[in-house]
Structure 1
Amino acid sequence: MPSAGRTLVLTSVAHFINDGNTWLLPVAYAYMVKAHGMPAYLAGVIALAFAGLGALASPLVGRLMDIYGRPLKLIGIGMGLWALGLAVFGYGVEFYNVPAALAGAVVAGIASAFYHPLGSAALALSYGGSSGYAMGVNGAMGSLGRALYPAISTALFAILGSNYLYALISLAAVSLAAAVPMFLCEEPGLRRGGRKASSSERPDMRAVATLTAVVFARGFALQGISQYVGVVLVSYFGYSFGQSLGNEITFFLLPAIVGQPLFGYLSDVVGRRTLLAGTTAGAALSAVALVATRSLYWLPVFGLFTFSAFPLSLSLAGDLVPRSSTGLATSLVWGLGNTGGGALGPLAMGLLLSSMGLGGVYVMAAVALASAALTVLVPRPPKRSRVPLFG
């Protein structure tokens, strides 16, 4: 298989598993609250530890990429950490050992920092200026994992005698198996040769910082709303907790499987900044329409626009800097920007819902619209050579 095509396949499998793993924890929180009577605030503490460690570790992961230039090998390390984190977390869930669950979430949070900056860096190195579509295809696999893993975990739970430890160990084994080809494959990587970077190779960190701030505001607002979709449906739209609610959540998540490659392709054609601003505004307006009309037809539209950040923001980050700084740039944009905003947004959304009900959605939508408007401050990236999608 050509090098670029092989990279797309390996990173797509890793993206499927990584994003699927991240949605195992919220399902487990519900189980711990229902089966063990865990206070809801403890679920919030564990969730904050997971997201916070992911945000803090991401720049370090990107720096490792820029030093060693072997993104696939580093993704393999991340998959191994996922396996360890899920096994420890599963023990904590099964035996209601909160310190173990917290420790597992911390390791899983560090593991979650690996994929996005490294996967995007690997694709940017392989595809150059046409990485938007490649990242879209790759992102669709992440969306598929995000949509399927909650159902897979509950099915394993039922098959394995209602034992959460066995269910998560099974999925930990999948993560560990995915790490093996990452270490075995040959990758050209990126070598600096020990020479000092020329002025043309130095990253424009002001541009990266501006994009990070824009993506932070986007993640803060849109992840804040999306994490409370289930709460809104149950508390304000009259849904009961059960299969119908699960169906609506799937209805919300599935459109991104098509949307990510679509927006990735369009970003190669019309520009990443334009698409990033347009999808952010589209998500904000569809969230407002959902609350104003209470029509669930707006739910998949909101999901379509919300989960488009991976191919747009990270391909734009890769375009803004020399290839030798791709890892650092993408880790800052995704880790401090998207993940950092996504960690704080749900906390703010919870406070807003408690104090002003559905009016909180309008406040967060206004923040998203401000993010869309501020995208114009991100510099236009230099033109890069294009590489055929499948090598």
Structure 2
Amino acid sequence: MIGSRGVGSNYGGIERVLDELCPRLGRLGHQVDVYGDPGAVFEDHGGVRAIGASSFGGKHFETLSRSLNALARAMGRYDVIHLHAVGPGILSAATHLFGQRSLVTIHGLDQKRDKWSATARACLTLAERALVANADQITVVSEPLRRYFIERYDVAASLIPNGMPRKTPAAPGAFLASFGLEPGGYVLFASRLTPEKGCHDLIAAFDALPQGTRLVVAGSSGEPDYLAALRAAADPAKVVFVGHRSGHELAELFSNAKLFVLPSYVEGMSMALLEALAYKVPALVTDIPENRVVVREHGFYVQPRDPAGLADALARLLESPDALGAARAALDSLDRPDWDAVAQRYDRLYRTPPRRPFAVAPPQQVGAR
């Protein structure tokens, strides 16, 4: 596995995917080596090893430089090199050149994220075209992503969605008390603090609401200026920043939230959203295809980049306990594959010979049809 900060880091969505997936692959008989940040700690769970790979160059080159380092050490040693995300997917050009079988999983269209400059987006678009031309297999985590690759490149990627985790609710305890939080007395945002997640819109919406229910912001940011701007815009009487949380502390936050809000502009398939639904927390999300395929009719929607509309929706829901209760009860009928089923689908894919070459149509021809 190449392209993440590694198992045990719990940094973002891809890392949480690997934390769920890799031990299950180990139990299915695979030896899984995950190259990532040397500081990530992960115990061997039945055939999973965390291998440190150094990086350099800040946010624009950190993941790619770590992936290059990992690939140099991994080439020729494995039955399959599994690359994660668009940027690292460009390395499939090297695996193809040297006859190393590769699989690339697309977790989202990274070039659409606001944090990247025009140059970075152009590079990510180049990486996308390279992986389409060179990867032996491509998987995507959502139906909108599958359609994107068909319509843009005439490539039939395999759809393997992220699994619904199994969660046991946690009673309110010392962690909530340390922030003065009451069960059912707060709205939760839990995600990486990057512009495309829309946390600034949520803070602006909360500033327009009267005092009452609080907003809890859980997550870390690799962009200090953005985090500083969020803190400067937030009313400390309404908004509580709790930083990056995991384990029992995160379970407490999810289990006792009144509502989960994800005002993102771009997604692949949000692990935080899946986790909220697993805890039976009603969700208010932006009406983008990647969120709709997860929540379907079991939640509430707002338009992206609309703080005023978000404030209106929050005001209505926070004053409608019956609507929230009905949404919570409806989540019992939400049927999604769990991680055991997801691992079994990857197991079958690894054991299936790749079907190359892909039928690739140039982007301009596909767009013209």
Give the TM-score range, shorter chain. under 0.3
Q: TM-score, normalised by structure 1?
A: 0.26
Q: TM-score, normalised by structure 2?
A: 0.27
